[in-house]
């Protein structure tokens, strides 16, 4: 039993953290979030140069990066490309992603039909749709890829302005068929849940750091507010929630990377606890900040919105607990 990342993985974490700290200061993240496009397209080449789009990375490496991007609130379609679309792409697109020339997302919700080499229909709630170059579309008879050109994508106002959802409207739009086999989506979803959990852990860590920094310096009634147990115990509760979520998120990432027998319950447990934990952490961080934490000016709400995005992604906690319950009570059905 060994519950530690390798030296190489820790180096990757350190380099990711340094890059994000230098390039995505809170001021820049806010400016990008408020911009029309929501991100800086030049970022994509930087990520490719950092090796974050490299096909050689495994789930544990992705887990490390996902956690750091959550901590920094990276505005870029990295999660959509790597966690959602990448396993479904053909070689040509994978090569283009690796060099930073393509990015992609996945459209699973909607009603899209194929007609020869074109697709027609609407897909909704597509992450990062307006930021990517390609979309993998789940149509009735298989998976297709289309160009995410401006005539087919519609931006939808999204609480989390750093990960916006869009709507895809296809009308005899040229498409390339990837596969008729939809079972690949099961693996994609499992992996995405593990990585979303890791990202939530990063958000949770940031909420803890913000809460700790503030309660160490803010004074009221002549004392630093972190000395009041009504305040400090909230911070302790964030710490507890962070550690529990982190343990499950790493377990889930490992289980998925190994194809472990428990991978389905591991990702269900991790997703429900880590994403709920991140929301809890942000709510408590807002509370200990008082009025300033409730302002649009303060950065906290942006983490809170990402936490809520992650909580909603691929099912709220109760959906995942239903998976766990099935494994506990109906093992024959679950298996």
Partner 1 sequence: MDFRDTADEAEFRRALRTWLVENLPSDWVDRMPTVGRYDEALARTWSRTLYDGGYVGLTWPKEYGGGGAPHTYQGIFLEETARIGAPDHIGGIGLGMAGPTIIAWGSDEQKKRYLPPLLAGEEIWCQGFSEPGSGSDLAGARTRAELDGDEWVVNGQKVWSSYAHIADWCILVVRTDPAAEKHRGLSYLLVDMRTPGVEVRPLRQITGDPEFNEVFFTDVRVPRESMLGNPGDGWNVAMTTLLHERGTLGFALTAALERQVLNLVKLAKEQRNDGSRPADDPVIRDRIAQQWIDLQALRFTNYRSLTSLQKTGVPGPEGSVAKLHWSETNQRLTKLALSLEGLASQLDGEGGVWDGYWQYQQLRSRGNTIEAGTSEVLRNIIAERVVGLPRSR
Give residues in contact with partner 1 (CB under 8 A).
1-6, 60, 208, 212, 215-216, 224, 226-229, 232-233, 235-237, 239-240, 243-248, 250-251, 254-255, 260, 266, 269, 272-273, 318, 321-322, 324-325, 328-329
Measured from the CB atom, is 154 or 327 closer to partner 1?
Answer: 327
Query: Sheet of 134-139: strands edge to edge?
Result: 104-107, 134-139, 142-147, 176-179
In whole angstroms, give the CA distance from residue 283 to residue 211. Answer: 10
CB of 288 to partner 1, least distance (A): 10
DSSP string computed for 283-297: HHHHHHHGGGGGSSS
Burial grade of 50 (CB within 10 A; 0-12, 13-18, 19 or more): middle
Q: Nearest distance from residue 258's CB to partner 1, in Å?
A: 8
d(CA 26, CA 97): 27
Tell me phi and psi for residue 125, to 5 degrees.
55, 45
Task: Compare residues 142 and 317 and give the one whose CB is closer to partner 1.
Answer: 317
Complex with partner 1: residue 78 or 250, whichever CB lies closer: 250
Q: Which two tokens stand for residue 273?
A: 């606890």
Q: How far is the CB of 3 from partner 1 (least distance, A)?
A: 4
Residue labelled with tokens 């007609």: 115
Q: Measured from the CB of residue 319, what is the shortest distance to partner 1 in angstroms?
A: 10
In whole angstroms, how close is the CB of 253 to partner 1 at the nearest point? Answer: 8
Least distance to partner 1 from the beta carbon of 310, Å? Answer: 16
Q: For helices 184-217 and 59-72, what crossing angle results, to 10°?
A: 40
Find the farthest-apart pair of alpha carbons in the chain and give their distance in angstroms, rounded: 73
* DSSP code, position 79: I
Looking at the Cβ atoms of 117 and 261, the one nearer to partner 1 is 261
Query: Which residue number, 155 or 244, has a Cβ lying nearer to partner 1?
Result: 244
Nearer to partner 1, 4 or 42 (CB): 4
């Amino acid at each position: 039993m060994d519950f530690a990342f390798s030296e190489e993985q820790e180096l990757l974490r350190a380099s990711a953290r340094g890059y994000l700290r230098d390039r995505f200061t809170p001021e820049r993240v806010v400016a990008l979030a408020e911009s029309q496009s929501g991100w800086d397209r030049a970022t994509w080449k930087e990520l490719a140069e950092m090796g974050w789009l490299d096909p050689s990375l495994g789930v544990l490496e992705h887990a490390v990066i996902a956690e750091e991007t959550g901590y920094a609130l990276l505005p870029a379609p990295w999660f959509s490309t790597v966690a959602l679309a990448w396993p479904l792409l053909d070689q040509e697109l994978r090569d283009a992603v690796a060099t930073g020339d393509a990015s992609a997302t996945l459209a699973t919700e909607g009603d899209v039909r194929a007609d020869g080499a074109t697709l027609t229909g609407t897909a909704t709630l597509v992450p990062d749709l307006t930021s990517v170059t390609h979309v993998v579309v789940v149509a009735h008879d298989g998976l297709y890829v289309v160009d995410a050109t401006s005539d087919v994508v519609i931006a939808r106002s999204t609480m989390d302005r750093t990960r916006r959802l869009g709507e895809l409207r296809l009308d005899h739009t040229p498409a390339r068929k990837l596969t008729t086999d939809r079972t690949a989506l099961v693996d994609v979803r499992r992996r995405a849940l593990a990585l979303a959990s890791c990202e939530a852990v990063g958000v949770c860590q940031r909420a803890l750091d913000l809460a700790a920094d503030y309660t160490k310096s803010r004074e009221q009634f002549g004392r630093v507010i972190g000395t009041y147990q009504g305040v400090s115990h909230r911070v302790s509760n964030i710490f507890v929630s962070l550690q529990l979520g982190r343990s499950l998120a790493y377990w889930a990432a490992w289980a998925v990377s190994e194809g472990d027998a428990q991978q389905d319950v591991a990702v269900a447990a991790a997703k429900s606890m880590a994403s709920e934990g991140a929301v809890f952490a942000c709510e408590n961080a807002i509370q200990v900040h008082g009025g300033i934490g409730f302002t649009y000016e303060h950065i906290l709400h942006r983490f809170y919105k990402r936490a809520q995005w992650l909580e909603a992604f691929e099912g709220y906690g109760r959906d995942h607990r239903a998976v766990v319950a099935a494994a506990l009570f109906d093992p024959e059905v679950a298996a």
